[in-house]
Structure 1
Amino acid sequence: MQSEYLSVFDMFKIGVGPSSSHTLGPWNAARQFAGNLEQKGLLQDVKSVLVQLYGSLAKTGRGHATDWAVVLGLSGYDPVHIDTALIPAIIDKVQTNQQLKLNDKGYIGFDMAHDIRFNCREALPYHPNALTFIADMAEQGQYSETWYSVGGGFIVREGGQLAEEHGEKAPCPINNAADLLRWCTARQEHIWQVVLENENSRNSLEDVERKLLAIYRVMQDCIYRGCHTPGILPGGLHVKRRAYDMNQRLIAGKEYTDYDSWFQAIRNGGKEFAYILEWVSCFALAVNEENASLGRVVTAPTNGSAGVIPAVLHYFVVFCDDNYPEKIIRFLLTAGEIGSIFKKGATISAAQGGCQAEIGVSSAMAAAGLTAVLGGTPQQCLMAAEIAMEHHLGMTCDPVAGLVQVPCIERNTMGAIKAIAAAQLALTGDPGAAKVSLDDVVKTMWETARDMDSRYKETAEGGLAVNIPVSLSEC
């Protein structure tokens, strides 16, 4: 898919786990539907709402909390600002009272067991993640909308354009890596400078920097929470959270009181290879354990791969002695543009492309961002992204029991480590001698995605999902 312009803030969204395509996307679609009802003056006439889930949304919807997300969206809650600790109580109230407050205005009857239908044997042609909302207004008839959650929290209404597409052109239009490199060469600029020019055409530089640092703070908070929360992940697999124990062991009794003092304690622990490797894995685990617990994460570019970029960015700021805001901003601008290239030329939806579209893309984004802040040229940044994705090609999405836990959480550690290795290879390599370009890999990834059997595209019908002896199947 190609579009005129995608912002870095389209690639980095603040939201709630466990899935961007199965939780955040349906949540936003439900909010849009409820808002459209109000805008059309129909809200007060609605007697009931029926939600039909299709394809991958139906097959793994319960494990991905799609039903909860729909309820929260119809109720008017904003995933960016909701107190995530209140979510279970909100859902419990709806289930107990069998009613919800539509768009936070008036109550309608709503039985989650009856009014959310999981159509596991039906799929709509546009995209595997589809859902239809049908509002019944008695004598006034019905009003319905069909939406598609196309990955990374992006949604598109049937017959409409992608919600995040911007109609006006950017100063430096970019649809692929070749476009990006041409702009860098023509302007004698780094990737982050070209991207910043595009962002500045819509927001002030101060706003761009402020919003990027706010995204980084959410990443910081998520890692810190994940490293300090013990227990068992929800969903029935009884997966133990590991980041807490890893943090306790690695911190080795050092005293700290908050994120900043914890950060310094980690840095003071040294730079031995095994020590750094464990911390990178710990950072990634922490984020995705939070994600699996309906915690607040940054979609980067998806929730299932939300741990890769924070882990690599924290590797940089902790162990490369570069905890400077301007470097963090450059990292995110570079990474965001790489993500948009994959979205335009291929997909970031596991339901379309398997896990290569999530962990693979996030690893490529992180590799390019790290290369940029370590002093790499634009050519080396693109080379790093290519190397990272090349070694994720064909990765399947096979969530056990439809939960974003096994093997999803560990895969974030692998994506982070591969990103760091890819950056180092690119920084010491010669992009001019490379046999494979980033655009070659994007094309190959999309061809692989289309060839991949649907069992390996977030349906929990193949791979580990059918070979691990659990009894939590959804359909």
Structure 2
Amino acid sequence: MTTSLFDLYKLGVGPSSSHTMGPMRAACSFVQDLESKGKLEKAARVQVRLYGSLALTGMGHGTDRAVLLGLSGNEPATIDPAVIEATVAEIRATKKLRLAGIKPIAFDEPHDLMFERETMFPPDSRTRHPNGVRFIAFDDAENVIEERTYFSIGGGFIVEDGAEATLADENEVRLPYPFHSAAELLEVAHVNGLRIDQVMMANECARMRVHDPGASDESLAEKVRAGIEAIWQTMKGCVERGIATEGILPGGLNVRRRAHRLAQRLKEKEATGQQSDPLAPLDWVTVYAIAVNEENAAGGRVVTAPTNGAAGVVPAVAHFYERFVTGANHEGIIRFFLTSAAIGILYKENASISGAEVGCQGEVGVACSMAAGGLIAAMGGTNGQVEHAAEIAMEHNLGMTCDPIGGLVQIPCIERNAMGAVKAVHASRIAESELEEHKVSLDQVIRTMYLTGLDMQSRYKETSLAGLALNVIEC
């Protein structure tokens, strides 16, 4: 396993981890490479070519803006969402940008930023993922001085053509409890008498130790906990902003924000003593999920979980645990994130979390699976129940397509997160009640999800060429 909890849960900006965060990181990486090779000063022009899903739905997902911001030296985790509009507007008005914020060059979008909608993969590329972007730098004489191709493989992860994903080298970190499948995870936990969250905590501490070899186990664990707390607080802030904000989402579909109105209705019922509805907690789960994904659709600060398009499921279920589960405490939240990350890692490393590769089953489906297992762990369930809940959640998301209307992460994405969050709660309740072994394993359902995604026609995988995107008129 090469993926960390902090790789899976990353700070970023909306609306898409694969179409916004990934291309921004790739553009920034390309410019950093120019700088490290001493070629930045020679660069007079940069041409960007987008392929596959990035070309087909890039405009709706903000890929064009992400590339401009990345070439200017911005990273998704650190850029201030409040400055994005002004930065992009200035580049477009002046037709100039500063590579890495330093080197000024002319940049004319129709000529220098090209959407290759008829080509699925960059020519001559070795990697075959439908989210490709090629950067070409020219000098004053129009000679090519550098050319690199990247693929945005979901969740904000990028990989250079022909290379491995940009994660830590497993050889650099000797994990105390490595695992590559759910079966291995359950076995290593059983042999060592550990919960899944304890396995993950030990592994995350080992990763931290690479950067701080003299630290005690206790201090490393505190750093991991602090990192999880930062993720949780960012998620909570996103929910709060989403509930507080009203208006129309950008993009042209004129989708009205609903989280504020839905929350107000629930609060009014509570204030008037109408608290007899046993399903009211699930209504709040809906509000939390919608709030996050409306913020994502507006380009706000979110946490990939495991992607931006599925960013509402995990925080919605974590809020459900914290507010509505008897005996909930902060230790439960820590268990929730550690365990859900273990499940997400299994999907990331054995299948895919990219809607452009396997459909929305790889985004909302995976988030649902992560949240269901995490909720069981938070409530003190067994490792077997965690695995069962995660399996149930994905089993009933198999085959889910990704067909965003207008290429925007709005319809059906926002409501789909609410449905995924409710389904995660339900899956955890089924698993909690089961006493006998179940027939389908998590490993089997992960493999099934991946093969189903490969069999799915490309027009149903984040291209907006079929499904709702084709049959619903944009208005």
Indicate which of 363, 366, 370 corresponds to 1:365. Answer: 370
> What do residues 294-318 of structure 1 show as CA deviations (whole Å, max 9, x unaligned)?
0000000000000000000000001
**5+ residue gaps in structure 2?**
122-126, 209-219
Preserved CA contact (<8 Å) 2:328 2:379: no
Q: How far apart are the structure 2 equivalents of 1:380 and 1:120?
A: 45
2:149 is aligned with 1:146: yes
Indicate which of 467, 470, 475 corresponds to 1:466. Answer: 470
Q: 1:378 to 1:272 in 2, by over 3 A?
A: same
Partner of 2:253: 237
What letter matches 1:206 in structure 2? E
Preserved CA contact (<8 Å) 1:5 1:174: no
Preserved CA contact (<8 Å) 1:271 1:319: no
Partner of 1:134: 136
2:18 is aligned with 1:21: yes
Partner of 1:262: none
Partner of 1:436: 440
Q: How far apart are the structure 2 equivalents of 1:136 and 1:322?
A: 61
Q: How far apart are the structure 2 equivalents of 1:161 and 1:302?
A: 19
Pairwise CA RMSD of aligned residues? 1.7
Q: How far apart are the structure 2 equivalents of 1:271 and 1:301?
A: 35
2:161 is aligned with 1:164: no
Preserved CA contact (<8 Å) 1:300 1:309: yes
Partner of 1:384: 389
**Structure 1 residues 48-57 or 76-85, which shifts more?**
76-85
Q: How far apart are the structure 2 equivalents of 1:412 and 1:183?
A: 32
Q: How far apart are the structure 2 equivalents of 1:130 and 1:56?
A: 8
Preserved CA contact (<8 Å) 2:71 2:100: yes
2:263 is aligned with 1:247: yes
2:51 is aligned with 1:58: no
Preserved CA contact (<8 Å) 2:269 2:275: no
Aligned length: 456
Preserved CA contact (<8 Å) 1:6 1:166: no
What letter matches 2:347 in structure 1? F
Preserved CA contact (<8 Å) 2:39 2:145: no
Partner of 1:214: 230
The alpha-carbon deviation at position 272 of structure 1 amounts to 3.9
Q: How far apart are the structure 2 equivalents of 1:26 and 1:64?
A: 11
Q: 1:82 to 1:269 in 2, by over 3 A?
A: farther
The alpha-carbon deviation at position 322 of structure 1 amounts to 4.8
What letter matches 1:127 in structure 2? H
Q: How far apart are the structure 2 equivalents of 1:83 and 1:271?
A: 43
The alpha-carbon deviation at position 327 of structure 1 amounts to 1.6
The alpha-carbon deviation at position 448 of structure 1 amounts to 0.4
Partner of 1:408: 413
2:243 is aligned with 1:227: yes
Q: How far apart are the structure 2 equivalents of 1:151 and 1:78?
A: 16
Alignment of 1:12-51 (within 5 A): 12-51=9-48
Partner of 1:352: 357
Q: How far apart are the structure 2 equivalents of 1:337 and 1:31?
A: 29
> What do residues 388-425 of structure 1 show as CA deviations (whole Å, max 9, x unaligned)?
00000000000001000000000000100010000011
**5+ residue gaps in structure 1?**
255-264
Alignment of 1:61-76 (within 5 A): 61-76=58-73
Q: 1:65 to 1:427 in 2, by over 3 A?
A: same
**Structure 1 residues 230-239 or 112-121, which shifts more?**
112-121
Q: 1:141 to 1:345 in 2, by over 3 A?
A: closer
Q: How far apart are the structure 2 equivalents of 1:186 and 1:380?
A: 17
Partner of 1:425: 430
Q: How far apart are the structure 1 equivalents of 2:371 and 2:195?
A: 16
The alpha-carbon deviation at position 161 of structure 1 amounts to 1.5
Preserved CA contact (<8 Å) 1:213 1:325: no
Q: How far apart are the structure 2 equivalents of 1:106 and 1:48?
A: 10
Preserved CA contact (<8 Å) 1:288 1:304: yes
The alpha-carbon deviation at position 150 of structure 1 amounts to 0.4
Q: 1:104 to 1:322 in 2, by over 3 A?
A: farther
Preserved CA contact (<8 Å) 2:303 2:311: yes
Classify the secondary structure of the residue corresponding to 2:292.
helix
Q: 1:269 to 1:347 in 2, by over 3 A?
A: farther
Classify the secondary structure of the residue corresponding to 2:446.
helix
> What do residues 427-459 of structure 1 show as CA deviations (whole Å, max 9, x unaligned)?
1102x4211110110111111011111111000
Preserved CA contact (<8 Å) 2:332 2:379: no
What letter matches 1:163 in structure 2? T
Q: How far apart are the structure 1 equivalents of 2:144 and 2:167?
A: 31
Q: How far apart are the structure 2 equivalents of 1:270 and 1:37?
A: 61
2:81 is aligned with 1:94: no
Q: How far apart are the structure 2 equivalents of 1:334 and 1:307?
A: 17
Q: How far apart are the structure 1 equivalents of 2:284 and 2:36?
A: 49
Alignment of 1:231-380 (within 5 A): 231-252=247-268, 272-322=277-327, 324-380=329-385
The alpha-carbon deviation at position 67 of structure 1 amounts to 0.4
Classify the secondary structure of the residue corresponding to 1:170.
coil
Partner of 1:261: none
Q: How far apart are the structure 2 equivalents of 1:269 and 1:308?
A: 27
Identity %: 48
What TM-score comes out, normalization by structure 2 length? 0.93
> What do residues 94-148 of structure 1 show as CA deviations (whole Å, max 9, x unaligned)?
0000011110112111122321100011122520000000011134642111000
What letter matches 1:24 in structure 2? M
Q: 1:182 to 1:253 in 2, by over 3 A?
A: closer
The alpha-carbon deviation at position 68 of structure 1 amounts to 0.4
What TM-score comes out, normalization by structure 1 length? 0.93
What letter matches 2:58 in structure 1? G
Q: How far apart are the structure 2 equivalents of 1:188 and 1:42?
A: 54
> What do residues 303-342 of structure 1 show as CA deviations (whole Å, max 9, x unaligned)?
0000000000000001114553322111000000100101
Preserved CA contact (<8 Å) 1:145 1:157: yes
Preserved CA contact (<8 Å) 1:5 1:173: no
Q: How far apart are the structure 2 equivalents of 1:96 and 1:282?
A: 38
